[in-house]
Amino acid sequence: MDVTEAKKTLSELQDKYPIAITRNLQTAKQWLKDHARGTERYGMVVSSQAERLKPHAIFVKQEVNPVHWFLNNKDDVRSSYYLEDVATEFLIQGLELDWVCVTWDADFRIKEDKSHGKRWDHWSFRGNKWQRILKEDRQQYQKNAYRVLLTRARQGIVIVIPEGDANDRTRPPDYYDPIWQYLVSIGFNTI
């Protein structure tokens, strides 16, 4: 995790391409609406492994019709504009929106490793608990899934890192806080 290089890349983009982070999904939705002009399209995207976003009314396993999501207007609850249905990396791969909200889950989180420092850690939610992804090819796939999600916006992006819940063993704050702290340390605009 090269913070110096990430800061440099972010500083090159910030003036031309708005990027913001928040802990609040409603704040992110309003940010999208405030930035989109005219018919510019916006929507929410999440990892297909983001199964612990249910408390935020994000149901990653709900099947979304891409025709409705990508083409229908702002009055249709099935469209991306309505900010209720989410697209995963499968639905959005190869396609773009003008403005995107990526809501991050604990499937791709930061871990402090004594021998290697901070690194990305890979998880999958099975049954009622998180299970570490050990196979290198599945880890690479998950990393690529987030790369797809983070590159779907033409105009700008807002990233939501949930706060977690200390009373929910599947969503403790220490799963999410290191991601937030890392993005803040790079210099992302917080809203």
Residue 87 within any structural domain of the chain:
yes
Cα distances from 69 to residues 53, 80, 87, 176, in angstroms, run: 20, 5, 8, 28
Residues 6+ positions from 124 with CB-CB distance below 8 Å: 49, 107, 130, 131, 133
Q: What is the pLDDT of residues 8-42, one digit of tens each?
A: 999 888 889 999 999 999 999 999 999 999 999 99
Residue 13 within any structural domain of the chain:
no
Single pTM value for the model: 0.94
Residue 37 within any structural domain of the chain:
yes
Q: What is the pLDDT of residues 82-122, one digit of tens each?
A: 999 999 999 998 899 999 999 999 999 999 877 777 899 99
Residue numbers of the domain that contains 30: 3-8+18-190
Residue 33 within any structural domain of the chain:
yes
pLDDT value for 69: 96
Structure tokens at 42: 């916006």
| pLDDT over 90, % of the chain | 87
Indicate the number of domains in the chain. Answer: 1
- DSSP annotation of 53 reads G
Residue 160 within any structural domain of the chain:
yes
Residue 122 within any structural domain of the chain:
yes
Closest to 160 measured CA to CA, from 186, 183, 187? 183
Residue 67 within any structural domain of the chain:
yes
